[in-house]
């Protein structure tokens, strides 16, 4: 039997956030030869202040054969921004594992810059910053002004330091706990971990009713999930009840689930 290995060519994707700019968005996308560009605007055309700039950017990119995808989000919502970025990363890399994701940090809001840099650390994307040759002062802005910067655009990529993040299995465990807002009992948590093959039991038991098997499962659950999620990451709390202990997410745990909604 001959196994065919599918080869992927590098697919270069750019992500940028709308602002009172044109060249700082379009110039690097064209110069670094993107295959596709995702441009995030503020919610939609009705609430977006910079559609004039967007349409010029869109035309410039399309004239260079670059596919443009427009998405409306709240550019001041950290979680919506990072979820939107991670969703793109997942979809593009699922389609082509060789996909390279580049994110423009120099446009958009402070929140988009923070979320984008975190996304680069979490999921191995390339951030870059664009500096214009000339800038327009705030008091010189008019209705006819198309962009705050002009002239030659300098592009540089800041260093991406590794960020410690939870292991994928811990993130999946958090998602199980988050399924119910009121929390989950330990016994149900154990069952769901087993159903998703997330619980590693070192010893094999021939009799599924062997009481030692149940004890081993609880021990594995505590060591692999409860202790690290509670004591190391502070993502969960466990009730003090002697029986039917309940696991609930802390505020940090809830935020982590939001961040890793699409990608571990």
pLDDT of 105-147, one tens digit each? 999 999 999 999 999 999 999 999 998 765 555 555 555 555 5
Averaged pLDDT of the chain: 88
Q: The whole model's pTM is what?
A: 0.84
pLDDT higher than threshold 50 for residue 1: no
Domains 12-156 and 168-259 share a fold: no
Q: What is the CATH class of 12-156?
A: alpha beta
Note the pLDDT of residue 199. Answer: 94
Percent of the chain clearing pLDDT 70 (strictly above): 88
Which is more confident, 133 or 192? 192
User: In this predicted model, what pLDDT tens digit does every residue of 49-93 receive, in sequence order?
Assistant: 888 889 999 999 999 999 999 999 999 999 999 999 999 999 999
Question: For the sheet containing 67-73, what is the strand order?
Answer: 67-73, 36-42, 12-17, 100-104, 126-135, 149-156
Which is more confident, 185 or 207? 185
Cβ(123)–Cβ(263) below 8 Å: yes
CA distance 214 to 187: 10
pLDDT higher than threshold 80 for residue 259: yes
Note the pLDDT of residue 131. Answer: 85
Chain-centroid distance of CA 59 in Å reads 28
Domain ranges of the chain: 12-156, 168-259
Q: Provide the terminal-to-terminal Cα distance of the chain, rounded to the nearest Å.
A: 35
CATH of domain 168-259: 1.10.10
């Amino acid at each position: 039997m001959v196994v065919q290995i599918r080869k992927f060519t590098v697919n270069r994707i750019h992500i940028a956030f709308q602002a009172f700019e044109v060249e700082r968005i379009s110039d690097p996308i064209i110069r670094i030869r993107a295959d596709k560009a995702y441009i995030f605007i503020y919610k939609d055309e009705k609430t977006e202040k910079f559609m004039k700039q967007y349409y010029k950017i869109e035309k410039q990119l399309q004239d260079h054969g670059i596919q443009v995808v427009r998405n409306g989000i709240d550019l001041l919502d950290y979680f919506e921004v990072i979820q939107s970025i991670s969703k793109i990363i997942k979809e593009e890399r699922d389609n082509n594992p060789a996909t390279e994701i580049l994110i423009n940090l120099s446009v958009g809001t402070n929140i988009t810059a923070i979320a984008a840099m975190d996304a680069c650390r979490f999921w191995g994307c390339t951030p870059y910053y664009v500096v214009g040759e000339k800038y327009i002062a705030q008091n010189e802005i008019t209705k006819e002004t198309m962009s705050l910067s002009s002239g030659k655009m300098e592009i540089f990529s800041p260093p991406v330091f590794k960020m410690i993040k939870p292991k994928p299995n811990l993130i999946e465990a958090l998602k199980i706990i988050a399924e119910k807002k009121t929390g989950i009992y330990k016994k149900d948590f154990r069952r769901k971990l087993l159903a998703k093959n997330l619980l590693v039991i070192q010893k094999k038991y021939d009799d599924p009713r062997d009481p030692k098997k149940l004890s081993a499962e609880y021990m594995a659950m505590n060591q692999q999930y409860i202790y690290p999620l509670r004591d190391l990451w502070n993502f969960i709390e466990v009730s003090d009840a002697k029986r039917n202990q309940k696991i609930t997410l802390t505020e940090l745990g809830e935020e982590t689930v939001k961040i890793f909604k699409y990608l571990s």
